[in-house]
Chains A and B, each alone.
Chain A
Amino acid sequence: MGGSTEPPILKERRPMYRKFKLNLPQFILAIALIVLGLSTDFSLSRTELDVAGKNLTSIGLLTGGVIFYVGILLIISMFQNETILSIAILFPSMVAIAIFVYGFIGWSIRVSLSKWKGLKPDFTWAGLTQYVNLFHNDPRFIIDIRNTAVFTVGFIAGCLLLGLALAILLDQKLKGEAIFRGIFLFPMSISFIASGVVWGWLMNPATGNRITGINLIFQSLGLKSLISLWHSTPQPWGMAFTVIPAVWQLSGFTMALYMGGIRSVSEDLREAARVDGASEFQIYRYIIFPMLQPVTLSAVIILGHMSLKIFDLIVALGNKDIRLDVPGIYMWTTTFDGTNYARGAAIGILMLVSVAILVVPYLVQNMRTETQL
C-alpha cells in the first residue's frame, strides 16, 4: 500500500541543433511497414480472410493496423521528442482501455436506461425504471443483495482471521514451514469452477442412505450433530456455507499478505522488545498488529472486490440454484437466457458502483501519494 519511493525519473535528452534526424534504413523500413499495413487492411476490407474455416478478417485487420502503427512509430522516433514517442507507444493500450473499459461502461449505462428487452436492440428512453424495479419490485434482486452481503462478510472475515492465524503459526520458525505454506496456498491456483465442482460433492446435502461427502466422514466418526445440509440450509445460513470453498481458495493468499507484513517487522525490534520483558503475545499485540493495518486494508479491498463480483464459484457450486443467486448470476441469466438486456445492464452497473465505492478511494489515495514523490 501507499506510494513507492521511486528513483528519479530519466530526463529527456534535448537535442540542441536538429529536431529531426533522418535515419535512412529506418525510414525505408518505416515506409515499407506502413505500405504493408495499409495494403493488408485495404485488401482485407474487400475480401474475407479464411484460415482453416475460421473467419480471421478482424484479426487480419488488426495485424495490418499494428504493422502500420509500428511504421508510424519508427517515423515518430526520428523526431527527437521522446515524450511524444512514449505517448505514441502507450497510445494503443490507452485507446483499448478507453473503449473496452470506459466506453463500454458508458454504453452499458445507456442500455440500463432503455427498454431493451428481446434480441433486437431497443434504445427507447426509460429513465431509471430498471433500477427502481430492481429495488422495489424484484424479490430476486433483494435476495441477491442479501446473499452478497452474507457472502462478503463471511468471506472477508474468514480469510482475514484464518489468514492471520496461519501467518502467525508459520511465523514460529518451525521445521517444514515451506511445506505448510505450499499446502495453504495451492488452492489459489485452481479455478473457481473446478473448486466449486469438487466442493459441491464434498458438501453434498443428501441424507439417509445416500449420505456422502463430508457428512459421510462425520457419520463414520460418530459426529452426527455436525452433519449439515450445507448450502441447502434455510437462508441466509445456506449462503454462508458457500463461504467455505471461497475461504479455502483465498485464505492462503491472505496468509501470504500477512506473512509479508510480519516479515517486514525487523527482528531487532522484536528482540529489543523481548529484552524489555515483553511476552510474545505482547509483541504481537503492541508491535506487529499495528504495523499490519495497511496489509489488512489492502486485503479487505482485494477480497471485497472479489466477493462483490463473485460469480463462477457460485455457478459451479449451486448450479443456478435460485437460493444461492448473486447479482453476477442474475445479470448473466437475465441477459443471455431471458434477453432482458436493459435489466442485465442495470445489474451490471450496480455491481460496478459497489466495486467502485470500495476501490476508487484506494486508487485516488495511491495516485496522490505517488504524485507527491
Chain B
Amino acid sequence: MTRRIVVHTLIYIVLIALSIFYLLPIYLMLLTGFKAFNQVDLKTMWALPNAGLHIQNFIAGYKQLAPNLTNSLVMVIPEAILSSLLGSLNGYLLAKWKFRSSNLIFSLILFGMFIPYQSILIPLVKFMQAIKLYGDIPGLVLVHIIYGIPITTLIFRNYYAGIETEILEAGRIDGASLMGLYRYIMFPLSAPSFAVVIIWQFTQAWNEFLFAVVLTNQSHWPVTVALNNLAGSQLVQWNVLMAATLLAALPTLLVYLFLGRYFLRGLMAGALKG
C-alpha cells in the first residue's frame, strides 16, 4: 500500500510539472495582460502585477484588433452554419444510400481534407479574382465552406452510420421518401453531430491563416492575419501583443472550455474513420 502511495505521488509530481509546461503560455499572457503599462519590463516578465490588476493592455490590444475580430466573427458564423447543413446532407446520403462507387466518391472527397493548400493556391486566387470574390469576407466564407466539405461529410457520415437502419425502415413503411426520412427522422436525431461540426468549423475557420492572408485585403483581414502582422511590427509593445493574442485566442478557448466534449469528438472524427 505504501508503494502505491509513493507511485501515485510520483505520478502527480510528473503531471503537475507537465501541467506547468502546458499552462506557461496562458500564464504569460494573463500575467502580462493584467500589468499596468508602467510596470511592464522584459526583465520582470515573470513578476506578478503589483498595485492591483489593470486592463490597459487588453484595451490597447482590443483597439488594435477590434475590426479584425469583427471580420472573423462575420466570416465564421455563416461558414459554420452552411457547411454543417451541406455536410449533414452529404453524410446522410453517403452513409445510408450506398450506390455503386459511393465509397470511391467518398474517398475522393476525403482526399481534399489532406491536401496542402499551397498546391491549389495559385488557381484559387486567380479564380476568386475572376469571379470578383477576391479580397473580401464573402469569398473567404465560400472557400472555407468548399474546403470544409470533406471533414463535415466525414463527421456526419460516421455519425449517421451509427444510427440503426431499422428506424429508417420503419419510416419507410409509413411511406416516407428519401428526403422525408432525412427531415423527420435523421435531422431531428443529428443535434449532437451538428454541435460537433459547427464547433469544428468555427474553430478551424477562426484559426486559419493561409487562405485568410492570400484571399483578403487589409481592411478585411481576419484576426489571425492581423495578429501576425501586429507581432511582426515594431510599433506595438510586447505587453499589448500578449493581451491581443489572448483576445484573438479567446473565442476558441471559450468554446473549448464550455463545449470541450463536442470539440474532442470533432478531433477524433478527423483522426479515426469508422
Interface residues of A, Cβ cutoff 8 Å to B: 1-4, 6-10, 13, 54-59, 62, 77, 82-83, 85-87, 89-90, 93-94, 96-97, 100-105, 107-108, 111, 121, 166, 169-170, 172, 174, 180, 182-202, 206, 209-214, 216-217, 220, 248, 252-253, 256-257, 260, 298-299, 302, 305, 308-309, 311-312, 315-316, 319, 327-328, 331-332, 335-336, 341, 344-345, 347-349, 351-352, 355-356, 359-360, 363-364, 366-367, 370-371
Whether A57 contacts B123 by the Cβ 8 Å rule is: no
Whether A94 contacts B122 by the Cβ 8 Å rule is: no
Binds A, one of B51-59, B189-197, B203-211: B203-211
Whether A3 contacts B274 by the Cβ 8 Å rule is: yes
* Known pairs A58-B133, A190-B207; A13 contacts B18 (CB<8 A): no
From A172, A198, A216, give the contact of B29 (CB < 8 A): A198
From B15, B142, B172, B271, give the contact of A13 (CB < 8 A): B172
Whether B11 contacts A7 by the Cβ 8 Å rule is: no
Whether B177 contacts A312 by the Cβ 8 Å rule is: no
B66 within 8 A of A: no
What's the Cα separation between A219 and B86 when bound, in Å? 54
Instruction: Please give me the residue from chain B that is nearest to A351 by CB atom.
Output: B116
B93 within 8 A of A: yes
- Chain A residues with CB below 8 A from B105, complex form: 90, 94
- Chain A residues with CB below 8 A from B153, complex form: 93
Whether A256 contacts B264 by the Cβ 8 Å rule is: yes
* Known pairs A348-B120, A348-B121; A191 contacts B96 (CB<8 A): no
From A111, A200, A355, give the contact of B115 (CB < 8 A): A355
Instruction: Please give me the residue from chain B that is nearest to A305 by CB atom.
Output: B114
- Chain B residues with CB below 8 A from A209, complex form: 43
- Chain B residues with CB below 8 A from A315, complex form: 209, 228
B253 within 8 A of A: yes
Whether B132 contacts A100 by the Cβ 8 Å rule is: no
Instruction: Please give me the residue from chain A that is nearest to B210 by CB atom.
Output: A311
Whether B132 contacts A58 by the Cβ 8 Å rule is: yes
Known: A90-B94, A96-B149. 4 other contacts (CB 8 A): A10-B169, A54-B136, A202-B24, A311-B118
B249 within 8 A of A: yes
B235 within 8 A of A: no
* Known pairs A89-B93, A344-B122; A212 contacts B45 (CB<8 A): yes
From B97, B142, B149, B206, give the contact of A97 (CB < 8 A): B149
* Known pairs A54-B136, A182-B260; A93 contacts B109 (CB<8 A): yes
- Chain A residues with CB below 8 A from B238, complex form: 201
Instruction: Please give me the residue from chain A that is nearest to B25 by CB atom.
Output: A198
Whether B178 contacts A85 by the Cβ 8 Å rule is: yes
- Chain B residues with CB below 8 A from A111, complex form: 122-123
* Known pairs A10-B165, A191-B207, A302-B270; A77 contacts B177 (CB<8 A): yes
Whether B116 contacts A308 by the Cβ 8 Å rule is: yes
How distant is B207 from chain A, measured CB to nearest CB, in Å? Answer: 3
Whether A302 contacts B271 by the Cβ 8 Å rule is: yes
* Known pairs A7-B164, A7-B165; A363 contacts B271 (CB<8 A): no
What's the Cα separation between A59 and B142 when bound, in Å? 9
B48 within 8 A of A: no
Please indicate which of the listed interface residues B22, B42, B227, B264 has the most CB atoms of chain A within 10 Å of its own CB.
Answer: B22
What's the Cα separation between A199 and B248 when bound, in Å? 15
- Chain A residues with CB below 8 A from B109, complex form: 93-94, 97
How distant is B53 from chain A, measured CB to nearest CB, in Å? Answer: 20
Whether B45 contacts A213 by the Cβ 8 Å rule is: yes
Instruction: Please give me the residue from chain A that is nearest to B94 by CB atom.
Output: A90
Whether A97 contacts B108 by the Cβ 8 Å rule is: yes
Whether B98 contacts A9 by the Cβ 8 Å rule is: yes
Whether B25 contacts A248 by the Cβ 8 Å rule is: yes
- Chain B residues with CB below 8 A from A252, complex form: 22
Whether B22 contacts A187 by the Cβ 8 Å rule is: yes
What's the Cα separation between A273 and B120 when bound, in Å? 52
Mask, B226-238, CB within 8 Å of A = 1, is 0110011000001
- Chain B residues with CB below 8 A from A184, complex form: 18-19, 22
From B46, B249, B270, give the contact of A191 (CB < 8 A): B249
Whether B22 contacts A183 by the Cβ 8 Å rule is: yes
B28 within 8 A of A: yes
Whether B119 contacts A105 by the Cβ 8 Å rule is: yes
B23 within 8 A of A: yes
- Chain B residues with CB below 8 A from A336, complex form: 214
Whether A10 contacts B123 by the Cβ 8 Å rule is: no
Whether A256 contacts B119 by the Cβ 8 Å rule is: no
Mask, B1-40, CB within 8 Å of A = 1, is 0000001100110110011011111101100000000000
Whether A216 contacts B19 by the Cβ 8 Å rule is: no
* Known pairs A216-B45, A256-B264; A10 contacts B12 (CB<8 A): no
Mask, B133-161, CB within 8 Å of A = 1, is 10010110010001101100100001001
Whether A59 contacts B138 by the Cβ 8 Å rule is: yes
Whether A348 contacts B118 by the Cβ 8 Å rule is: yes
What's the Cα separation between A180 and B13 when bound, in Å? 12
Leading 8 A-B pairs by shortest Cβ distance: A4-B274, A191-B207, A189-B256, A309-B116, A352-B119, A104-B120, A312-B209, A348-B119
- Chain B residues with CB below 8 A from A170, complex form: 15
Whether B273 contacts A1 by the Cβ 8 Å rule is: yes
Whether A93 contacts B90 by the Cβ 8 Å rule is: yes
What's the Cα separation between A6 and B161 when bound, in Å? 6
- Chain A residues with CB below 8 A from B133, complex form: 58-59
